[in-house]
Amino acid sequence: MEVPGRWQDIDYLLLREGAMVGPGFEPCPELREALHNDLRILVIGAGGLGCELLKDLALSGFGNIDVIDMDTIDVSNLNRQFLFRMNDIGKSKAVVAAEKVMQRVKGVKVVPHYGRIEEKDDEFYRQFQIIALGLDSLEARSYINSVVCSFLEYNADGSPDITTIIPMVDGGTEGFKGHARVIIPGVTPCFYCTLGLFPPQVTYPLCTLAETPRSPAHCIEYVHLIQWGQERSGDSFDADNPEHMKWIFDEAFKRAQQFNIPGVTYSLTQGVVKNIIPAIASTNAIISAACALEALKIATMCCRSMDNYMMYMGTQGVYTHTLSHEKDAGCLVCSPGVPFEVDISISLQKFMELLMDDPRLKDKLSKPSISYQKRNLYMQAPPVLEEMTRPNLNAHLFELMDKSSGKLNVNDKKLTGVLRVSVSFRGQGDVVVDMDTAGGG
């Protein structure tokens, strides 16, 4: 039975007009039903952010949620990953989180997927209308960004085809800092457009570590990177071996005393060596709430989306700031494609050599496979396909592309998604323009 007043707060948003509503929003009770019955959302990650996200989404009226996570529950998760208990240790995070949310929020269906995000194919990701990311690694974000952006297609006028867009809401936390952002492929910057936002991992120059340490971390890194190799070269260092960690701590402590540096503790030693940033439950809660709200806005249009990146800082007081980052027009992942102007006489083989040598694609390709629309022009693998497509290498690219400019899709082991290449042929531009004006006149 439905608890009276259960949807009151959501209804305030869905049943009333407002100055900030999104385009095409019409307040009506059917919105809540659609949110509950029709819309499918995927939550990636069932850790600190993921637990919060699942709870927030379920309580906001999302009725069909999938969750994917490859991890099992560890005792150290229990202080903040509040869906898990002592007797869940060792079980799949996704499975347990799904069960717990379904127990607590009546009527919601949560489907767990225990495994790696890379194991799922494109069809899996295409089922969802929204994807919410509660991840802690750049690699995983980058991967899913590439997959979702590879679904994106552009109309002839260069605008994104909205039927191919799957919006993403991304949250991230690091200690007392966090961010929430909305990625609408083709419309707002994708993860790759703004890769520069993520600072490189902290590293220290070796000379500082060796000669002029100034912080406890310098002392710890010295023992970890230099002294271990000098004094225990027979042992390969294992960060999960308590005896190894204790040795690093003891030596770092002695070194810190020599240089009169206070603050070397065992937990700091673990933090520096394993690169651990403490996770804070309240930061996760705030960031997840922002992400769930953005998902609700996208799903119902009850309000315009955040534009497009909110950062949160809770180190001293509480501070948030929202910035509108710009798309990178030449982004390899979400833009209409890297432009290539080539001669009509070029063979596919020659074109592939051009691709490999192009400075814009430096170090991005190793063995590219190329397709045009639904046709494979050249596949590096499997051997059967390679053999079938090999004759195309000597064919003219112009013929293979039906004598018109267009987009090629390039796949490569080194890429996580599809690289779009926009090919035009010298002397052909005029022909295309002529046809366009003929149609318009």
Least Å distance between CB 401 and Zn ion?
A: 25
**CA 292, CA 54: separation in Å to the nearest integer?**
9
- Catalytic residue flag (residue 207): yes
Is position 209 an interface residue for Zn ion (rule: CB under 5 A)? Answer: no
What is the contact mask toward Zn ion in residues 275 to 314, using x (rule: CB under 5 A)?
----------------------------------------
Least Å distance between CB 292 and Zn ion?
A: 24
Stretch that binds Zn ion, among 12-20, 57-65, 150-158, 185-193 (CB under 5 A): 185-193
Q: How many CA atoms lie within 13 A of 272 on its CB side?
A: 24
What are the E-state strand segments in 303-418? 309-313, 319-323, 338-342, 369-372, 375-378, 406-411
Enumerate the β-bridge partners of residue 65: 41, 110
Catalytic position from the list 207, 219, 291, 331:
207
- Closest to Zn ion by CB, 54 vs 148, is 148
Closest CA to 183 of 306, 338, 302, 287: 306
Which run of H or of E encompasses 170?
A: strand 168-174
- Closest to Zn ion by CB, 193 vs 245, is 193
Stretch that binds Zn ion, among 11-19, 26-34, 192-200, 268-276 (CB under 5 A): 192-200
Least Å distance between CB 377 and Zn ion?
A: 25
Is position 13 an interface residue for Zn ion (rule: CB under 5 A)? Answer: no
* Distant-in-sequence, close-in-space partners of 440: CB < 8 Å, separation ≥ 6: none
Q: Say if CB 32 and CB 14 are below 8 A apart.
A: yes
- Closest to Zn ion by CB, 196 vs 383, is 196
Q: Say if CB 61 and CB 80 are below 8 A apart.
A: no
- Binding-site member from 190, 256, 285, 415 for Zn ion (CB under 5 A): 190
Least Å distance between CB 191 and Zn ion?
A: 7
Q: Say if CB 220 and CB 214 are below 8 A apart.
A: no
Is position 193 an interface residue for Zn ion (rule: CB under 5 A)? Answer: yes
* Distant-in-sequence, close-in-space partners of 159: CB < 8 Å, separation ≥ 6: none
Is position 331 an interface residue for Zn ion (rule: CB under 5 A)? Answer: yes
Q: Say if CB 49 and CB 285 are below 8 A apart.
A: no
- Closest to Zn ion by CB, 194 vs 389, is 194
- Binding-site member from 54, 223, 279, 334 for Zn ion (CB under 5 A): 334
Is position 419 an interface residue for Zn ion (rule: CB under 5 A)? Answer: no
Least Å distance between CB 328 and Zn ion?
A: 6
- Binding-site member from 25, 62, 84, 192 for Zn ion (CB under 5 A): 192
Least Å distance between CB 190 and Zn ion?
A: 3
Sequence-ordered alpha helix ranges (H) in 39-121: 48-59, 93-104
User: Residue 196 has which token pair?
Assistant: 């520069």
Stretch that binds Zn ion, among 175-183, 249-257, 331-339, 419-427 (CB under 5 A): 331-339
Integer angstrom CA distances of residue 32 from 8, 23, 56: 11, 18, 15
Q: Say if CB 73 and CB 81 are below 8 A apart.
A: yes
Closest CA to 125 of 143, 139, 109: 143
Is position 183 an interface residue for Zn ion (rule: CB under 5 A)? Answer: no
| Residue number closest to Zn ion, CB atom | 331
- Closest to Zn ion by CB, 223 vs 333, is 333
Least Å distance between CB 420 and Zn ion?
A: 11
So which residues are the catalytic ones? 207
Q: Which positions lie near Zn ion, rule CB under 5 A?
A: 190, 192-193, 331, 333-334
